[in-house]
Amino acid sequence: MTAPTFRTVSGDRRPLRVIVVGAGGMGRAWLSTVRSSPDVTLAGVVDLDPLVARAAAEAAGAPEIPTGTDLTALAAATDPDAVIDVTVPAAHLPVTLEALSLGLPVLGEKPVAETLPEALRLTAAAELSGRLFMVSQSRRYNRQLFRFKDQARRLGAPGILTTEFFLAPRFGGFRDAMDHPLLLDMAIHPFDTARFLLDAEPVSVYCQEYNPSWSWYRGDAATTAIFEMTGGTRYIYTGSWCSPGLETSWNGSWRLSGELGSACWNGDDPAVVEAPDAPPAGAPVPAPSAGGAGGGIAGALAEFVHALRTGTVPMGEVHENVMSLAMVAAAVQSASTDRRVVLDEVLDTARAEALAAADGEVRELIGSWSSVRDALTARAENPVGHG
């Protein structure tokens, strides 16, 4: 089995020059993170709207930085080392393909793409380009999560993992009008965390979606999903985005029940463990990742740079990340059809759609995969810089 390989960036390019594409709400957060990182320097800002790009550069305290609407043109003018893609999900495919075709590695916001077939096309394109495509799954960069995972090893065989997520945010804007607001916009975070915690992949899911009578969302804002994971562990997610009172953290409230004991994590503080061999309270917290300093997107950025410097495969490398989006796609399909959905069937359908939409070498490579799961796990096997 081969771990992903990608071209590293030599040490004399220090700090790395990055172009940020997408200068909306999250783009501004990325610009601020880039500006405060010692590892990178801002080379340019791209947005479909030139005024948005310029205003974001100014708000980030970088009015002198070139901005524009065309990534290829700005890259030619600024000689960047990498692209950070913070566009809307529908633009993740074209922006990432454009960057890879320019020979530039990409750190992209979650989800990897708007749809699973698009994610498979990006996986193949990244492989063919020899450049790193990493998805920033920012909620993984959390010291308490790493501690929870560390403690989970003391529980023996994992049996049941649960997440409860109860919040009542009034966003306004696109989420209020989405078809599956909770599943599509938020649930990818805990689904990704469940894979990480269990070191397991989804096998099947049964999911129901519903909308409480008082919901201020057009689409279903509450959901319960039961996943069977490899090894037989069940992962159960119950969440609502219109649930005022006794709200959980944004990471949700977690419980892992294992053969020898249980651990609970409120998503913010250290996990509480009841097991024979639990570490004492106040034990050192494992670092988020080999290269990751800081949490959230700062951690993702640090790990991306570390990967480009050393060739270490990072968390969120595209092959490793795709199954988190597959969990969302399968849950949506189950909720829409009211039946248990097998992940391999969802992956096969996505592959057929990817083949129909792709051409050239990308199409050839996707066609050569013995199965999607094998293609993803074979390449994602080198595990990632948690340590």
Ligand X SMILES: NC(=O)c1ccc[n+]([C@@H]2O[C@H](COP(=O)([O-])OP(=O)(O)OC[C@H]3O[C@@H](n4cnc5c(N)ncnc54)[C@H](O)[C@@H]3O)[C@@H](O)[C@H]2O)c1
- Preceding omega of 202 cis (within 30 degrees of 0): no
Minimum separation from the CB atom of position 200 to ligand X (A): 23
Count residues binding ligand X (CB under 6 A): 22
Smallest distance from the beta carbon of 96 to ligand X, in angstroms?
Answer: 10
Please tell me the number of Cα atoms within 13 Å of 32 on its side-chain side.
9
What span, in angstroms and rounded, lies between the C-alpha atoms of 86 and 25?
Answer: 9
Decide whether 91 or 128 has the Cβ nearer to ligand X. 91
Binding residue (CB under 6 A) for ligand X from 3, 9, 26, 167: 26
Instruction: Please identify, using beta-carbon distances, which residue of 174 and 210 lies nearer to ligand X.
Output: 174
Stretch binding ligand X (CB under 6 A), from 17-25, 161-169, 303-311, 312-320: 17-25
Q: Which of residues 126-165 bind ligand X (CB under 6 A)?
A: 138
- Tell which positions 87-126 bind ligand X, by CB under 6 A: 87-89, 91, 94-95, 109-110
Listed ranges 22-30, 121-129, 175-183, 306-314: which one lies at the site for ligand X (CB under 6 A): 22-30
Q: 100 with 131: CB under 8 angstroms?
A: yes
> Nearest residue to ligand X, using CB?
24
Q: Smallest gap, in angstroms, from Cβ of residue 21 to ligand X?
A: 5
Verify cis geometry, omega within 30 degrees of 0, for the bond prior to 94: no
Angle at 16 between CA 52 and CA 313, to 5 degrees: 105
Instruction: Please give the span between the terminal C-alpha atoms of the chain, in angstroms, as a whole number.
Output: 22
Can you read off the two tokens belonging to residue 203? 């096998």
Question: Cα dist. 371→252, 313, 331 in Å?
Answer: 33, 22, 21
Single out the residue of 224, 236, 227 nearest to residue 203, CA to CA: 227
List the beta bridge partners of residue 79: none
Contact segment (CB under 6 A) with ligand X among 15-23, 72-80, 241-249, 254-262 equals 15-23
Distance CA 113, CA 90 (A): 7
Stretch that binds ligand X, among 43-51, 210-218, 323-331, 370-378 (CB under 6 A): 43-51
Distance CA 50, CA 64 (A): 15
With CB under 6 A as the contact rule, which of the stretches 24-32, 191-199, 328-336, 363-371 interacts with ligand X?
24-32
Considering the rule CB under 6 A, would residue 294 count as an interface residue with ligand X? no
CB 372 within 8 A of CB 350: yes
Among 21, 126, 132, 375, binds ligand X (CB under 6 A): 21
What residue ranges bind ligand X (CB under 6 A)?
21-27, 46-49, 52, 86-89, 91, 94-95, 109-110, 138
